[in-house]
Structure 1
Amino acid sequence: MADHAIPHFANDAGVSVIHIGAHEFMCVGANPPFDHPHVFLDMGGDHEIVCPYCSTLYKFDGKLHADQSEPAGCLMRPPAEA
């Protein structure tokens, strides 16, 4: 599984629900430096899960790719390497 990247999502807008296209992901709260501990969340057979740190409700949407969210822009991207 080392070749499988886990998407990281951030909730900078402070919305209550984020729809995503992945069942397994990391929630970081907000982008650094305002992030909380990066927590791995796995919906398993369910289609929604609440982050225990920031209380964001994540809902699975099969129409989205693993790196997409609604609202758009919640995927955390690593800083560009120099």
Structure 2
Amino acid sequence: MASHSTPHFHNQPGVETVRVGAKEFMCVGALPPCDHPHIFIDMGDDNEAICPYCSTHYVYDASLHGGCEPPECRFEPALETTNATA
């Protein structure tokens, strides 16, 4: 299975803001099966973005180096697929 180079984030915990260490990423909303269409978000020159589907507020934080805070908001599609078939 191909790995994803674009980070994926969700807001299953329902936090007010998810800090992310990438300006280009995918938002999946909540964890499957309650996710929304996985959409690409590009902050460009801005340091924040709001998902048009789930209204999650994402704020860029370079110190996270591609990760996120809270860390449980990172989504690994390959792990979800593996767990679903196990």
| TM-score bracket, shorter-length normalisation | 0.7 to 0.9
Structure number with higher helix proportion: 2
For 2:20, the equivalent position in structure 1 comes to: 20
For 1:33, the equivalent position in structure 2 comes to: 33
Indicate whether 1:71 and 2:67 are aligned. no
RMSD: 1.7
Identity across the alignment (%): 53
Unaligned ranges ≥5, structure 2: none
Cα-to-partner distance string for 1:8-67 (whole Å, 9 max, x where unaligned):
10111011200000000000001100100111000000000000000000000011011x
For 1:12, the aligned partner's letter is Q
For 1:56, the equivalent position in structure 2 comes to: 56
Indicate whether 1:46 and 2:39 are aligned. no
Number of residues of Structure 1 aligned to a counterpart in Structure 2: 79
CA distance in 1, matches of 2:32, 2:39: 14
